[in-house]
Amino acid sequence: MKRGIRAEDLYRLKFVSDPQVSPDGGRVVYTVKRINKEKNYESHLYICSLSSGASVQWTTGSHIDSNPRWSPDGKRIAFVSDRTGKKQIWIISAEGGEAKQLTSSDGGASNPVWSPDGKSLLAAITVKKESDESDRLQPLEVTELQYKADGRGLLKGEYSQLFLIHSETGTQKQLTSGPFDHFDAAWSPNGDRIAYCRSRPADDTVSYASDLVIRQLGGEEKTVSNGTGAFTNPVWSADGEYLAYCGQTFEYGSATLGNLYAVKLDSGETLCLTRNFDEHAGDALIGDMHYGHPAPKPAWSKNGSGLYFIASLNGCSSLHYAALEGKVAQVTKRDCHLYGYTVDAENDFAVFAASSPVIPGDLFYASLSNLAEEVRLTDVNKAVLSEIALSHPEEFRFTNDEGRSVQSWLMKPPRLDEGKKYPLVLEIHGGPHAMYGNTFFHELQLLAASGYIILYSNPRGSFGYGQEFVKACMGDYGGGDYRDLMSALNHALEHYDFIDPEQLVVTGGSYGGFMTNWIIGHTSRFKAAVTQRSISNWLSFYGVSDIGFYFTKWEIGNHLFEDPEKVWHHSPLRLSSRMEAPLLILHGEEDYRCPVEQAEQLFIALKQQDKTVKFVRFPKADHNLSRNGDPGLRVARLQYIVNWFDEQLENVASKGGPTLENTASDRF
């Protein structure tokens, strides 16, 4: 009999990403990531023959190899590896053999891009600001809004610059300079120009704002974008007439749908190819296995009349096609999380990396003109999953108080005993502008295997259902989004008799942590709660988060100094006296997105009122602990969640406690 999944299975699961088809269309190189329990994460290159379907491991060792890119003649593969410490560019023969190190920069190197003639590569190299190299402590002078970033820490004048590197000798020439990060480089077809993205000045009001730039090799640069958003992933058409790219213009802040653009270079005319497509051009689906894989660039069709790209809608991320005249069509139909792809337009096929609720991540082949030819190429978790009984989610929808359909899912224990009632966990995603859906989620599978019903939903504010829906929570945190979540819960209780209405618990991270705090301050339905990397006080979040100085305005509607009363109104900390559910607070000590002081304030407020509360601090962990943090801490975090819910529900059962109200009361 198969067993349920365990927290420790995280050490055994593998994840496939970043497929790249060879120039002759016969092979695909890709990466497989796993966790080495003793040495943290590992990632290796594999090559799959499309004629036989067989894969061969191409690199080995206790290190991370990533970003494989074929040379134009298909004879070599450039990739990034940390095998000598810092990440550097390496090259390996496509026929096998030892890899050769190409760069040895003190700041590390990444994102290799071959020139059309194969003689050179573009790479992003971190250039450090000159400073005293002694070990003594030194002060950091701060003069700009953006002086720290989650996952990077305090910013100390280090910027990513583009270098031209000879593919044989490793000789380097710096092409860009200045206090900006330069990334996503792309060569023009004849190799005389490059396109790339450049971050905005550090005093800009949005930390991830960026421009699209074209530079003549050895000449001047020209900004192509309009300077009002974030633009990424440029790709030239084969004839060099167009430059396509992804981006968003911040019209609705972080709730703005992503779009696909193409600029006609001779006239400067910019076309928004997704102007009539009321969905997000990009991957908005979240899970806990997929963090850090590179976002694939759009891919031009064979005749140059349009591009392939990823779009997110209705709980799925799929491959779509946008014609230059503005018509958009979905290409892949599988209900899944398509997070990576490579297109061979000449031979009419794509290979894509995809996940589903029961597939952590594998490669699939699809004919672009005949989707019936879709074939699975890899099954990297076959051995471990042969031992495990996974839960298959059941989708349902309900109509909210604004007449909108809200997509939700129920995940049951793998073996459901007829006639038995089960406790339910309400899981709430972060963002809030993200999307739950058809992807593998280790945490949800673990809770289901632990005997819980898992309810997860995409309330207003989520991507996947059009622009109006995704911006509907802005300025209204804890209003309509809260009602959507309570309506999802009510629907589940009304339609599934195996749920015990007296054993409800709730958890979520980031925005989901905010909403967990908000929920237990507004209703006593839940017997326990776990809040993760949460927001509790928007007044302090404004000044301590790496994004607080603009995100607060976007999401709440006002800066701290404009309307502090409104900012405080949406702060769960003010509701601490109403919070009765036993609360476990989980937070990373190096979280710069939702800094640990948010957890500290909530813990002290509850503890001083003699509430049942526990605070767990994870050392050296940032906002992405659950996705790419220290593996041991990731496992510990999962165990804390399950154990807290088990213990609190057992306490209630042993005490024969009072029946909690079973209504969606909203005590504003």
- Write down which residue in 362, 390, 418 finishes a domain: 390
Same domain assignment for residues 443 and 406: yes
Strands (E), 22-59: 27-36, 40-49, 55-57
Task: From the candidates 510, 534, 540, 576, give the one annotated as an active-site residue.
Answer: 510
Q: Is residue 206 part of a domain?
A: no
| Residues whose CB is less than 8 angstroms from the CB of residue 464 and which lie 6 or more positions away in sequence, other chains included | 279, 280, 284, 312, 313, 314, 315, 407, 435, 437, 458, 470
**Average pLDDT score over residue span 359-374:** 87
Q: How far is CA 607 from CA 95, 207, 551, 619, in A?
A: 63, 35, 29, 22
Q: Is residue 210 part of a domain?
A: no
Largest CA distance in the chain: 78
- Write down which residue in 390, 409, 436 finishes a domain: 390
Torsion sign, CA atoms 12, 16, 17, 22:
positive
- Write down which residue in 390, 423, 451 finishes a domain: 390
Catalytic residue flag (residue 623): yes
User: pLDDT tens digits for 562-616?
Assistant: 999 999 999 999 999 999 999 999 999 999 999 999 999 999 999 999 999 999 9
Q: Is residue 624 part of a domain?
A: yes
| Residues whose CB is less than 8 angstroms from the CB of residue 206 and which lie 6 or more positions away in sequence, other chains included | 200, 230, 250, 550
Q: Is residue 424 part of a domain?
A: yes
Q: Is residue 142 part of a domain?
A: no
Same domain assignment for residues 350 and 457: no
Q: Looking at the predicted structure, is the pLDDT value of residue 132 above 60? A: no
| Residues whose CB is less than 8 angstroms from the CB of residue 338 and which lie 6 or more positions away in sequence, other chains included | 283, 310, 316, 317, 318, 319, 332, 352, 353, 354
Same domain assignment for residues 495 and 594: yes
User: pLDDT tens digits for 17-70?
Assistant: 999 999 999 999 999 999 988 779 999 999 999 999 999 999 999 999 999 999
Torsion of the alpha carbons at 265, 269, 275 and 281, rounded to the nearest 10: 30
Same domain assignment for residues 601 and 475: yes
Same domain assignment for residues 502 and 371: no
Number of structural domains the chain divides into? 2
Name the residue among 246, 119, 115, 292 with its Cα closest to residue 190: 115
User: pLDDT tens digits for 236-264?
Assistant: 999 999 999 999 999 999 999 999 999 99
Q: Looking at the predicted structure, is the pLDDT value of residue 136 above 90? A: no
Same domain assignment for residues 451 and 579: yes
Strand partners, 328: 322
Beta strands 349-356 and 359-367 are: antiparallel
Torsion sign, CA atoms 345, 360, 430, 536:
negative
Same domain assignment for residues 341 and 413: no
Q: How many CA atoms lie within 13 A of 146 on its CB side?
A: 22
Same domain assignment for residues 353 and 459: no
**DSSP-assigned letters across all residues of 283-344:** --B--SS-TTPPPPPPEE-TTSSEEEEEEEETTEEEEEEEETTS-EEE----SSEEEEEEEE
- Sheet of 172-174, strand order: 109-114, 120-127, 159-166, 172-174
Same domain assignment for residues 346 and 491: no
**Separation between Cα atoms, residue 277 and residue 63, nearest integer Å:** 42
* Percentage of the residues of the chain whose pLDDT score is greater than 90: 88
Residue 95, number of CB atoms within 10 A of its CB? 7
Name the residue among 444, 602, 478 with its Cα closest to residue 536: 602
Q: What predicted TM-score, i.e. pTM, was given to this entire model?
A: 0.95
> Residue 250, by phi and psi: left (phi above 0), alpha (psi -120 to 50) or beta?
left
Residue 295's domain spans which residues?
1-25+273-390
Q: Is residue 115 part of a domain?
A: no
**Cα angle 307-310-311, degrees, rounded to a multiple of 5:** 115
Q: Is residue 40 part of a domain?
A: no
DSSP state of 535: -
DSSP state of 144: S
Helix, strand, coil percentages, rounded to 5, for the chain: 20, 35, 45
**Average pLDDT score over residue span 108-127:** 96
Same domain assignment for residues 554 and 446: yes
- CATH code at position 604: 3.40.50.1820
Res. 111 pLDDT band, cuts 50 70 90: very high
Q: Looking at the predicted structure, is the pLDDT value of residue 94 above 70? A: yes
Catalytic residue flag (residue 510): yes
Name the residue among 40, 37, 38, 41 with its Cα closest to residue 17: 41
Same domain assignment for residues 405 and 378: no
Task: From the candidates 199, 433, 623, 626, give the one annotated as an active-site residue.
Answer: 623
Same domain assignment for residues 285 and 334: yes
Q: What is the CA radius of gyration of the chain?
A: 25
**Separation between Cα atoms, residue 80 and residue 292, nearest integer Å:** 14
Torsion sign, CA atoms 131, 133, 135, 136:
negative
Q: Looking at the predicted structure, is the pLDDT value of residue 394 above 70? A: yes
| Residues whose CB is less than 8 angstroms from the CB of residue 608 and which lie 6 or more positions away in sequence, other chains included | none
- Sheet of 210-216, strand order: 182-187, 193-199, 210-216, 221-223
Q: Is residue 570 part of a domain?
A: yes
User: pLDDT tens digits for 617-629?
Assistant: 999 999 999 999 9
**Separation between Cα atoms, residue 38 and residue 635, nearest integer Å:** 14
